Amino acid sequence: MKKNKLGKSDIMISELTLGCMSLGKDPDKAIEIIDHAIDAGINHLDTADLYDFGMNEEIVGNAIKNKREQIILTTKVGNHFNRKSMDWYWDPSKEYIMQAVKDSLRRLKTDYIDFYMLHGGTLEDPIDETIEAFELLKQEGYIRAYGISSIRPNVIRKYVKHSTIDGVMTQYSLLDRRPEEEILDLLHSNRISVLSRGPLAKGILSNHAEKIIEEKGKEGYLDYSYQELKDVKQNLSKLLQEEYSLNALAVNYVQKHPAVASAVFGASSVEQLRENVESAHSGPMTEDLYIRLKQITKSNQYDKHR
């Protein structure tokens, strides 16, 4: 599987990333999915300390403990949680980040994190203090690189201007093209990689789109109505060629922009994993097809989340 450089770092990540939130709580099943991902050429795993209140990190840590050198490991921080009471609050302070990284390292059974991300963020945060924490962790060797997971363009701009982030994880798909207007070119020009999460739009753009639109799409998706989702699905189906499944069409679309280093997908079964891995073997998307996909879908704008 093709690997791309993460920002200005020396880290190379696979063009597909396994998002570990969907692995579930069965350790054996998680190990099976992760092993299949590695065998398929995926080297990048993404988790977060908040997922199942630390349990997801523990499951991932157990799954990779004998193959750490094969993995680029990403986790996230910023949600100050209490495992016993199962609640949390937003805390991007330097004090919390410096404490939380050690808890994550323990759960992940490793002595370093390849890529550490702030799990959200607003303009009201003590951003200089947050950046100071990440820079210190990098200097001390706890992390190799850092970035943020955010859909807020104004927050992303702040980090581009004031930090040395190497990547931004943001929601991006054929149905959520908001990053195209404000984010992708900005990050690319600053040599900051994009990790595109949600390329299948909660399954609405997957091979099982028809079923999922009926199950989840009755209230619409972003600025698409239920009928518009059905119309988009019908129009996309007309474009499918032998080398493209709907999964592959959706994933290859977000990978077309040069800022995107990896598309992040979840998998709760080996079958789901295989469906997504197949998209990596469909070859690069032609410019003509790329333009036609843009004509079928909307150029959405950021509204509430700034």
Distance CA 255, CA 257 (A): 6
Q: Domain total for the chain?
A: 1
What confidence score (pLDDT) does residue 244 get? Answer: 80
What confidence score (pLDDT) does residue 81 get? Answer: 79
Q: Give the chain's residues under pLDDT 50.
A: none
Distance CA 222, CA 219 (A): 9
Tokens standing for residue 172: 């991006």
Tokens standing for residue 256: 């077309």
Q: What share of the chain is helix, strand, coil (3-state, %, to 5)?
A: 45, 20, 35
213 in a structural domain: no
Do residues 167 and 193 lie in contact, with contact meaning Cβ atoms separated by under 8 Å? Answer: yes
CATH number at residue 135: 3.20.20.100
Phi, psi (degrees; rounded to nearest 5) at 278: -60, -30
93 in a structural domain: yes
246 in a structural domain: no
295 in a structural domain: no
Tokens standing for residue 292: 């036609």
216 in a structural domain: no
What confidence score (pLDDT) does residue 95 get? Answer: 96
Per-residue exposure over 136-158, b if at least 16 CB sit within 10 Å of its own CB, e if not: ebbeeebbbbbbbbbbbbebbeb
Q: Which residues are catalytic?
A: 51
The pLDDT tens digits of the residues spanning 138-182 come to: 999 999 999 999 999 999 999 999 999 999 999 999 999 999 999
What confidence score (pLDDT) does residue 243 get? Answer: 67
What confidence score (pLDDT) does residue 282 get? Answer: 75
- Residue-level length of the chain: 306
pTM of the model: 0.93
In which element (H, E) is residue 72 found? strand 72-77
Give the gyration radius of the chain's Cα atoms: 19
Sequence letter at residue 152: R
Domain hosting residue 94, numbered range: 3-203+254-282
277 in a structural domain: yes
174 in a structural domain: yes
189 in a structural domain: yes
